[in-house]
Structure 1
């Protein structure tokens, strides 16, 4: 899982100013999903959906972003998760990279089903100092550690090492490889001087989403991420594990300021397509067909029930999954149409997709879009199709009544909160 990667930030999804040959090759070997969605337009809530297989709005941790402003909130240790349920089926489970679902002592990967953890606990760190606002945030399990190097490479090093360990073990395994790239600060692999200069000034994590950076730096971050993923895939092949390992690549939400989200409007923190549509690739030996494209809408929370079904398990009966088993879509077969729902406190955002139709409310304005024919979400059809608009908006209200409400004092503005209705030229 990449962090803040836009829909068209891979060349196989349309990026024009650089190439991502490793992930392009992965797409050529498997299925590329062009209607894949993140559970949220921001980080932690999507990670809640991924790890629980449920809408994140069922848990308090899924309603706050950033978590750094809510230190007591996190993933409950007793809640069933993808790693804990797979571990009960005999799998060894590892998280390498970003956690961002709550802090010690009450929350952490080792408390939520992972046998091993190596990475960061917060939302983002400097790629060289591995600090956030002056505090170290690189961990081996529950032990704070110091390492020298560019974080994207260090995470890949650990993934390669972990694969070698798994190759000597008879147990099946799950590796969650959650990169911080290309999340800010905008630092490429050759920008150590920038990190050192900021550290010397005492600025800590000073290059925020709206500070510094260039398109060239962003390209370096994404292409270096692509190359490090290549090292992991090469190790799978070298160890003879590539033909019985499922590989899924996706992002936690839509892109940031340097991202390409064409043909969509919107960015991270927004329920426009550019804030929630994410590049997704699946190579599943014996199931996916090389070079196929699926237009089936899928969501982050679908991976848990899919993996559990493949492993011969099922979600915990007291915590039924909101996601579905999407192996049929991976194989290129049809999947029953179903509604997908979102909400986000910033600007009172609401969204629902059913088939080609999307209901959206944002900044006090409501819309009905045909997102297949109009992916830019420019033509508001709510007056032309009042019955469909009413059907979807009422369905959203019924769904929302089953979810937790946002706490009045929660900070859910995410990275920016930049939306205005006239920014996109859309009418009421």
Structure 2
């Protein structure tokens, strides 16, 4: 069986990496190790996150389904009121990627950001991970590890933990420790490691900026940061990924290990999304189109590129297939496996749907076309020809606009409504579950 490492950056823009043509991040400078992963495997140019904001995407990553099915995901994202809440989080009874891989014989661990609810009602180990090291909140200071609530937010399992160090490095160190402990046993018990970095999420602090920690008045750090700091934060993460790649080689398990790299949503204020517009919180391309890279020496031809449309929940479903885990019978799986794309270089039609309470946004990507609604304004774009979403084709193609609008409405009718502060029940039909 194959070991799996699922790496998720936080607020990383589409073109922040050299391999994605970043204008500032030239190949091999800011992200040499991630660029190397891409060269060793396959890059996806039309890969998306399930949401333009963090915790909803993480619900989809965990459940392999549209996040709108769960109450906690409707918060967009979970905020401070989730601490102590018995409703705002990922319910332990919901099947997840780690819980299903655990049933298939994997040893599972999460290192990094959780952001899916607090103990005692929620937590990584309640949802399929056998061990956890990281943060529960959406963001913390990189040195003090204090969250927006003003409390320490570094944890080992369900216990708060104090440790000195720059958070990105601590997460890399812990991931390497995990590999050192599990690699000798991986022939009999393969491992699934989720490595969810907080980089390059605010506050804007590099490894050399410990002197700034006491001066930052808000984690949003509105008065701080710049492009150079931001890129250095990415580089620190990249260095950790390089160390992980070396560790896999050292243990002789690199060929038997899948590494997937992505971001939870589009970039924020210092990111490079070129040629896309918009960013975090937007259903324009810059908010949801993100890097997707897979390195799998025994399963993917190196140096390849795919135009396949896909999103977060598809990748989680794919990793379940790679790990030979079973699909749950009592929960909808909206994600579609990408194994045909990885192993046969085939591509298939895959409609992708989104909605956001923020500015009443909705979107549908189908083939070359994208339907977008923001507030009361509707747009129709040919993304292949107009990635910057500047030439609205709605007046020229009213029939296509109407058809895509209706497709979105039909899909939306299968999901619980976006209602403020309401308890949402699970709504699905097995007939609606993809069979691929």
Distance 1:90 1:409 in 2: 39
In the alignment, does 2:195 pair up with 1:177? yes
Q: State whether structure 2 residue 326 is matched by structure 1 residue 314.
A: yes
In structure 2, list runs of 5 or more residues that go unmatched: 1-7, 423-436
User: Is 1:209–1:256's contact at 8 Å kept on the other side of the alignment?
Assistant: no
Instruction: Determine the structure 2 residue equivalent to 1:2.
Output: 9
TM-score (ref. length: structure 1)? 0.92
Match of 2:166 in 1: 150
1:129 aligns to what? 144
Residue matched to 1:328: 340
Residues 392, 24 of structure 1: CA spacing in aligned structure 2 closer, same or farther, 3 A cutoff?
Answer: same
Instruction: Determine which of 126, 129, 133 is the counterpart of 1:118.
Output: 133
Give 1:228-247 correspondences, 5 Å limit. 228-247=240-259
1:373 and 1:283 map into 2 onto residues whose CA distance is 29
Contact 2:308 2:348 in 1 (8 A): no
SS in 1 for 2:79: helix
Q: 1:238 to 1:154 in 2, by over 3 A?
A: same
Match status 1:12 vs 2:19:
yes
Please say if 1:382 is aligned against 2:394.
yes
Report SS of the residue matched to 1:403: coil
**Do 1:42 and 1:269's aligned partners in 2 also have CA atoms closer than 8 Å?**
yes
Match of 2:40 in 1: 29
Deviation for aligned residue 1:405: 1.3
Alignment of 1:280 with 2:292, yes or no, is: yes
1:196 aligned residue: 214
Matched, 1:86 2:93: no
Q: What is the alpha-carbon distance in structure 1 between the residues aligned to residue 313 and residue 364 of structure 2?
A: 15
Q: Does 1:406 align with 2:424?
A: no
- Kindly report the root-mean-square deviation, in angstroms, between the aligned alpha carbons of the 2 structures: 1.2
CA deviations on 1:49-103 (whole Å, 9 max, x unpaired) are 1110000001111111331243220000100000000000111000000000001
2:310 alignment partner in structure 1: 298
Deviations 1:144-182 (A, max 9, x none): 111111000000000000001111223011000000000
Matched residue, 1:349: 361
Write the distance in 2 (CA, Å) between the matches of 1:363 and 1:193. Answer: 43
Cα 1:209–1:288 shift into 2, 3 Å: farther
Give TM-score, length-normalised by structure 2.
Answer: 0.91
The answer on whether the counterparts of 2:142 and 2:167 sit within 8 Å (CA) in structure 1 is yes
How many angstroms does 1:332 deviate by?
5.5
- Name the CA distance, whole Å, in 2 between partners of 1:313 and 1:108: 22
Q: Structure 2: how far apart are the matches of 1:388 and 1:237?
A: 51
Contact 1:10 1:24 in 2 (8 A): yes
Which residue does the alignment assign to 1:421?
none
8 Å CA contact 1:36–1:277 kept in 2: the answer is: yes
CA contact (8 A) 2:45 2:292 kept: yes
Report the 3-state secondary structure (helix = DSSP H, G, I; strand = E; otherwise coil) of the residue aligned with 1:255: coil
Deviates more, 1:166-175 or 1:34-43: 166-175
Kept in 2: contact 1:64–1:70 (CA 8 A): no
Whole-Å separation in 2 of the counterparts to 1:28 and 1:285: 11
**Number of positions where the alignment pairs a residue of Structure 1 with one of Structure 2:** 404
8 Å CA contact retained: 2:204, 2:230: yes
Residue 367 of structure 1 corresponds to 379
Aligned structure 1 segments of 4 or more residues deviating by more than 4 angstroms: none
Query: What is the CA–CA distance in structure 2 between the aligned matches of 1:209 and 1:93, rounded to whole Å?
Result: 34
Q: In the alignment, what sits opposite 2:184? A: 168
Measured in 2, the distance between the counterparts of 1:84 and 1:211 equals 42
Alpha-carbon displacement from aligned partner over 1:164-214 (angstroms, at most 9, x marks no partner): 11112230110000000000000011000000334xxxx4xx141633111
CA 1:31–1:209 in 2, change beyond 3 Å: closer, same or farther? farther
1:3-53 deviation digits (Å, cap 9, x = unpaired): 000000001111232321111111110001110000000000000011100
SS at match of 1:95: strand
Quote the Cα distance in structure 1 between the aligned partners of 2:225 and 2:242: 25
